[in-house]
Chain A
Amino acid sequence: MSASLTIEGKSERRFGLGGYFVCLKGIVWRESLRFLHQRERFVSALVRPLVWLFIFAAGFRQTLGVSIIPPYETYVLYEVYITPGLMAMIQLFNGMQSSLSMVYDREMGSMRMLLTSPAPRWFLLTSKLLAGVAVSILQVYAYLVVAYFWDIEPPTFWGYLTVLPALLLSGLMLGALGMVLSSLIRQLENFAGVMNFVIFPMFFASSALYPLWRVQEGSPWLATVCWFNPFTHAVELIRFAFYGKVEPLSLAVVVGCTIAFLAAAILAYDPARGMLMRRGG
């Protein structure tokens, strides 16, 4: 055959800055393409929060009065209150789903394929994570478009933009958490288990559905749990960012947790001491 199939003298061909960028772009592109092909996944990702919005929130509207608490400056409808919680829920589901797909991928070998890239492993895992976050942000904006027609919108149009960095951070945190879980728990392949032991407790024991001061009235113990739940801080970070504001405590907690979870995930997938070995790959 005409051209040589091997490339000589390429042992010097190391990853430059451009190579990293190409690699990250490729991973995000593949994840987005895969997501767009899985139409059921897109639909269910959109329907889930809408069920909460149209049915749950509508039903609870009269039962649960929300008083004026920051960042809100007037009384707000319950639908408005739970919207940041639902945005975070989309990311929570997505984070867990992509961690599941890593376990599934690993069995299918495409996770192994990813790890044959000469790029450093921390970079590959972070890129994979960012790809999942990109998909989750896509879902959140699709939800916001529908919510807009339900008269749920930020006070200024800028809210759609200021919420973006918050979504990026919370998506990273939840995705990294999912990645840690995927390396630790074999049973994660069963999504029902993840729902029961991760998604439901995190979602319900948070400020997503009810303000913490109301929880405090009912059960101080639960309020404490909620307060220590990183998901609460992801919700609050998004809530404030949607209104163009920064909640410093939530920001600190989310950044801290993201770093901690990411470090744990990279450690878990480290070839020398990783959990992968125990599985007998």
Chain B
Amino acid sequence: MNVRALVNTMEAAPPALAVEGVSHAYGPRKALDDVSFTVGPATFTVLLGLNGAGKSTLFSIITHLYASKVGAVRIFGHDVARDSGAALAELGVVFQPRTLDPDLTVEQNMFYMAALHGVGRGQARPRLRELIARVGLADRLHERIRYLSGGQSRRVEIARSLLHGPRLILLDEPTAGLDVKARADILKLVRGLVAEDHVGVLWTTHLVDEVKPDDSVVILHKGRVLASDQASAVIEACGVRSIGDAFAKLTHGAPDEETA
């Protein structure tokens, strides 16, 4: 049918991430309603939505914490629900809550992640050193996470998500709780990964100032996709000047008491 035809045409070069008609409900409450969008390889895509828009549910489904009853999620063509091993091997994740063990060192945390991907220490060591150097923390390798700042441990998490060489990484509000400088550093680092290393990125946020005109943007509101295009195209279609205005205009019809 519709979706299948779409999949067939994309088989030659599957997108990094394809969310296809995903709906999900917790009892009577619909958290996601027919959500579809794609993230191209080596592109920076921003998933913009307020708290309660359904971002967490979507994240849970993409990372295979639980499966959606309706629709499918594919990572480089691998169905997350049916072929989760192959799909997850292509995926790196930075969750919003801190997930590093505070009492373990940077290197120990990295070893643990490598092991989860079936990579032993000897094989992981040179690569993790390179990645930690890449995020600018080479001298902190044997430091416990407890003694790092919020921005530094975020950078470790980003390095960790790249450890198994995924071609797609998801970052769930990675700048939450960081100061202006650390926020800018993280953003620059991740944009660099897209430009130089051709990693596809899905970046969720509620902060419109993290969007650049040539980024892809997916606007999620109350479980529905209101727009999915290049940021500049969304702005133009709305007839406004900025993505912030576009966001306000699109979500205006359904005012939400929840604040960002």
Taking Cβ atoms with an 8 Å cutoff, the residues of A that contact B are 1, 3-7, 10-11, 13-16, 18-20, 22-23, 25-27, 29-30, 33-34, 37-38, 107-110, 112-120, 271-272, 274, 276-278, 280-281
Contacts and interface: CB of A to CB of B under 8 A. Distances in A.
A113 B95 CA distance: 8
Interface in B88-121: 88-91, 93, 95-99, 101, 103-104, 108, 111-120
Contact of A278 (B26, B96, B197): B26
Interface in B165-215: 165-167, 193, 196-199
B85 A119 contact: yes
B97 A281 contact: no
Interface in B102-142: 103-104, 108, 111-120, 130-131, 134
Contacts of A26: 111-112, 114-116
Contacts, number: 145
B97 A109 contact: yes
A218 to B, nearest CB: 47
B118 A276 contact: no
Contacts of A281: 56-57, 60, 65-66
Given A5-B165, A14-B85, A26-B116, A115 B65 contact: yes
Given A109-B98, A112-B65, A11 B78 contact: yes
What 9 A-B pairs are tightest by C-beta distance, nearest first? A26-B115, A19-B118, A7-B165, A117-B116, A37-B103, A5-B197, A109-B99, A109-B97, A118-B88
Interface of B: 26, 31, 56-57, 60, 63-67, 76, 78, 81, 84-91, 93, 95-99, 101, 103-104, 108, 111-120, 130-131, 134, 162, 164-167, 193, 196-199
Contact of B31 (A4, A23, A278, A280): A280
B99 A29 contact: no
Nearest to B118: A19
Contacts of A120: 85
Contacts of A278: 26
Contacts of A277: 26, 66
A113 B99 contact: yes
Nearest to B96: A109
Contacts of B98: 108-109
B165 A10 contact: yes
Nearest to B105: A33
B165 A22 contact: no
Contacts of A38: 103
